[in-house]
Amino acid sequence: MAQGLELSATDFQSSWNNRWHHTEEISSERLLVRRGQAFYITLYFRNRGFQPGLDNIIFVVETGDAVYLDSEPQRQEYVMNDYGFIYQGNKTWVRPCPWNYGQFEENIIDICLELLDKSLNFQVDPATDCALRGSPVYISRVVSAMINSNDDSGVLNGKWSEDYLDGINPAEWTGSVAILRQWHATGCQPVCYGQCWVFAAVMCTVMRCLGIPTRVITNFDSGHDTDGNLIIDEYYDNTGRILENKKDAVWNFHVWNECWMARKDLPPGYGGWQVLDATPQETSNGLYCCGPASVRAIKEGEVDLNYDTAFVFSMVNADCVCWLVHGGKEQRLYRDTNSVGNFISTKSIQSDDRDDITENYKYEEGSPQERQVFLKALQKLKIERFEGPYRANSPSSKPMPLSQNRPRSLHRPSLRPSDVIQVSLKFQLLDPPNMGQDIRFVLLALNMSLQFKDLKVSLSAQSLLHDGSPLPPFWQDIAFITLSPEEAKTHPCQIPYSKYSQYLSTDKLIHISALGEEKSSPEKILVDKIITLTCPAIMINVLGAAIVNQPLSIQVIFSNPLSEQVEDCVLTVEGSGLFKKQQRVLIGVFKPQHRASITLKTVPFKSGQRQIQANLRSNKFKDVKGYRNVYVDLML
């Protein structure tokens, strides 16, 4: 009888396999392979050679193709690309924010695996957790919970205020690598601080590093419905000031992820892109995580499908009801079915352009299909809601229904007060809203009737945080406007920089509103506008050809747009494959309207398409951004 084989050594051919599996940027020393693709290993035997027909070798391997994308351009974008854009601003001014995902940078794969081992699931039952790691549904929920630190030793602490003295203002981050490395270096202590785009960007890094196709999504005018009734309530006082709502909110924008995966746990047809949201908003099965929720299920109103589909549906398709708070009562001004969920955006495939993917999430606003889906979602959630124009703050108050605004069916929105009064109000900016300059705008008033109209209009301006939280008003005015039949008039307004500068939030958002009333009608007209102030972008010039392992000079040009001195200026620059770590340059004091440049030297260590990301922060502004794409050649 032939002697059995004795294995002496195994060559995993890591360098060759990793190159063909597109993981060579992570490592060439250990085997890192992707699902659904062949790889090769060599076995060496101690006592004799392998004899075909006589010897039998059995391999036990467990794989799957639950995250396979059959498009090579999509694989390059959603798995391989290590930089991108996260869209911010507002629906009328969409701004791309450059981001360094850096999923192939040194030690990132180990940090991602450490993140899985720090999860509550692994801590409670390591064997079961490891057995389930082949499921992208399971892994995505674990990662979603671990990116925030609300329940565990997660990566990021979230903060939505203006006090970041004990950490980093979320607006200052330009990449995930520095965040993940800090978390690892401090013994897995949460990094301070993150907000939605930071949570989503770090999750994108982790998921792409683990081989799951992932992209970052921005939803403008994003609903946060805490009571699950698909209604976002907004409150105003009689001066036009928006009031803080401790429950519902409309975020100026909100950022989450989509991951590509099969969903064998759902009915056929609901695989593909799935929403994952690592921002700690509400709990899911007791933990602060969200998803995966099928994008197709969201569009079709299948809000009873796992996971958290109803919550995501409300973010993109809730109705908004505006209330006037006055005299101890809440008067409903109008119900808006179109305002939540606009310009849902992600970076285009192999391009710096923006893709609008709103149609993936919902049917066109105002279409019969959109209302049908909304009603279907309400039915599945078994929601009923009183829609009268008044509701009391106390049981003793009596509702005072108005004949012009009786309760209406959910099939269509109620008449706006402007339709009843037949007067239209609208804001229009006269100049670009540049940081440091006065804000000039007009209120346009149009009489659509054949009668004279006497209007009293209360105007207000206040800063907003990006999650919709209002700060106290810093400017108010009252205008009296008389309109002849079918007449249009403009009322000019100006808010000096000296008036708003000390009240401006990091997000640079100013909410202006006008509450109009006409003496012959009890109805009130509300119009508002969100203004995002802009700063001049950082310019980056690459001085000479970029070649692997050859010195490269990079010029960074930046300016102070304000007519006052700014202090505590710090410039950060990074870029995967170009800098081994984030570069920080202390600038200190920056003179009024001064322009400056510095030159940095580096040695690129990876070839191909790369991106440089830069941020300038000061005591007056935190997120002046800039970027430059660079192609790095292997040799001259």
Active site residues: 196, 254, 277
Q: Which residue has the tokens 């700060």?
A: 471
Q: Which residue has the tokens 């590093």?
A: 209
Of the chain, the end-to-end C-alpha distance in Å amounts to 61
Task: Reduce the secondary structure of 324-367 to three states and give it as a string.
Answer: EEECCEEEEEEEECCCCCEEEEEECCCCCCEEECHHHHCCCCCC
* Rounded Cα distance, 564 and 548, in Å: 42
**Collapsed DSSP state (helix, strand, coil) of residue 437:** coil
Q: Which residue has the tokens 């002849």?
A: 484
* Rounded Cα distance, 482 and 518, in Å: 10
Of the CA atoms within 13 Å of residue 544, those in its CB half-sphere come to: 15
Query: Nearest-CA neighbor of 81 among 71, 73, 93, 89?
Result: 73
Query: Nearest-CA neighbor of 63 among 26, 38, 27?
Result: 38
Distances (CA, A) of 281 to 84, 145, 590: 25, 11, 38
* Rounded Cα distance, 461 and 499, in Å: 10
* Rounded Cα distance, 499 and 476, in Å: 11
* Rounded Cα distance, 461 and 223, in Å: 22
* Rounded Cα distance, 251 and 254, in Å: 6
Q: How many CB atoms lie within 10 A of CB 459?
A: 23
* Rounded Cα distance, 197 and 255, in Å: 5
Question: Do the Cβ atoms of 156 and 202 come closer than 8 Å?
Answer: yes
Distances (CA, A) of 279 to 190, 200, 291, 293, 560: 14, 7, 11, 15, 32
Q: Is 117 annotated as a binding residue?
A: no
Q: Is 319 annotated as a binding residue?
A: yes
Structure tokens at 235: 């409150």
Structure tokens at 172: 């200052």
Question: Do the Cβ atoms of 180 and 108 come closer than 8 Å?
Answer: yes
* Rounded Cα distance, 456 and 585, in Å: 53
φ and ψ of 415, to 5 deg: -60, 135
Binding residues: 317, 319, 365, 370
Binding residues for Ca(2+): 317, 319, 365, 370
